[in-house]
Amino acid sequence: MLDPRLLRAFVTIVDAGSFTAAAGRLHMTQSTISQQLGRLEQAVGRELIDRAARPVGPTASGERLLGHARRILALESEAVALLSDPAGTSAIRIGLPDDIVTSRLSREFATFSEQHREVRLDVTTGLSRDLSKRFRAGEFDVVVVKEPTASADYRATFPEAIGWFEGANSAGDWPDPIPLVTFPAGGLYREAMFERIERERRNWYIAFTGSSLNSVLVAVEAGLGLSLLPLGATANYNVRQNQSLGLEPAMVVSVYSWEGAGHIGALVERITKVLADRFELQGRV
């Protein structure tokens, strides 16, 4: 492997046209730069500088090496500059339900990243129960989850109205058994759906399972079945509330974090403000 320090001495001698001038540019003695060139020539087994020429210049072998040497030194400079820039060197791990990742929240993330270039935001979306479990296991620094009631260590919590929805073009008179559109096993609304239908003494079956809120809403929109959903997530879909089943007791959307200060605390404040505005607006509708 060629030592970049020796390559720099070689390139500087060629550019300066003399050992004395090159030594001055590199802030070293002439004997030192001569020794460095000698070590490089020994490593490659070729003379690289024509010492008899005035000004001194590269030999044929030196000319062949010169372009590669310049590229190696340029790459070294780029690597040093890259590692000296702290951008993205500190990660904040965030877990969110997919419907919480709105354009407004994404803009807040962008503003935060502009103000704190050293921080990288690692965002994972998923089901609330899984996100909560992973947060408690230390996999996330910040998490937003939907749950029946908030735990005592929440940073902020907001009520979220939920109700039964069907496609806007559905007949409205569902057969027995009732087709249900659900999240996967472990999804927050899934058990609540089954319990409510069974309290109504109705039979049911799962007609469609979707892993995201969008996939569930699209399936409901298409008429595949009924589903229990947050009211605020349905605005842009062609669905309507099912009148016979109506609303369910509100869930809560809660924010948790292990730290309340520093970068994490500042980010939690931004997330909390977005959620507060969101649920205040829904409450006025």
Are 170 and 246 within one domain? yes
Are 8 and 73 within one domain? yes
Are 228 and 238 within one domain? yes
pLDDT digit string, tens, across residues 105-136: 999 999 999 888 888 999 999 888 899 999 99
Are 63 and 35 within one domain? yes
Q: Cα–Cα distance between 31 and 43 in angstroms, integer? A: 18
Q: Is the pLDDT of residue 34 over 50?
A: yes
Are 228 and 112 within one domain? no
Q: How many CB atoms lie within 10 A of CB 203?
A: 11
Q: What percent of the chain has pLDDT over 70?
A: 96
Decide which of 38, 65, 84 is a domain's last residue.
Answer: 84
pLDDT digit string, tens, across residues 231-282: 888 888 999 999 888 888 888 999 999 988 889 999 999 999 999 998 876 6
Q: Is the pLDDT of residue 284 over 50?
A: no
Are 14 and 96 within one domain? no
Q: Please give the pLDDT value at position 42.
A: 92
Q: Which CATH number goes with the domain that contains 135?
A: 3.40.190.10
Are 166 and 243 within one domain? yes
Decide which of 26, 50, 84 is a domain's last residue.
Answer: 84
Q: Please give the pLDDT value at position 89.
A: 63
Q: Which CATH number goes with the domain that contains 67?
A: 1.10.10.10
Are 206 and 226 within one domain? yes
Q: Is the pLDDT of residue 285 over 60?
A: no
Residue 232's alpha-carbon distances to 151, 210, 275, in angstroms, are 23, 19, 12
pLDDT digit string, tens, across residues 155-214: 999 999 899 999 998 877 888 899 999 988 877 788 888 989 888 888 999 999 998 888
Decide which of 31, 66, 84 is a domain's last residue.
Answer: 84
Residue 79's alpha-carbon distances to 29, 83, 84, 85, 251, in angstroms, are 28, 6, 9, 10, 50
Q: Which residues contact 266 (CB under 8 A, 6 or more apart)?
A: 112, 116
Are 146 and 279 within one domain? yes
Q: Cα–Cα distance between 21 and 73 in angstroms, integer? A: 20
| Structural domain count of the chain | 3
Q: Please give the pLDDT value at position 85.
A: 66
pLDDT digit string, tens, across residues 54-112: 899 899 999 999 999 999 988 888 887 777 766 656 889 999 998 898 899 999 999 99
Are 266 and 215 within one domain? no
SS3 content of the chain, % helix, strand, coil (to 5): 45, 25, 30
Q: Are 159 and 187 in contact (CB under 8 A)?
A: no
Q: Is the pLDDT of residue 35 over 80?
A: yes
Res. 143 pLDDT band, cuts 50 70 90: very high
Are 31 and 67 within one domain? yes
Are 139 and 73 within one domain? no
Q: Please give the pLDDT value at position 182.
A: 93
Q: Which residue range forms the structural domain that includes residue 17?
A: 4-84
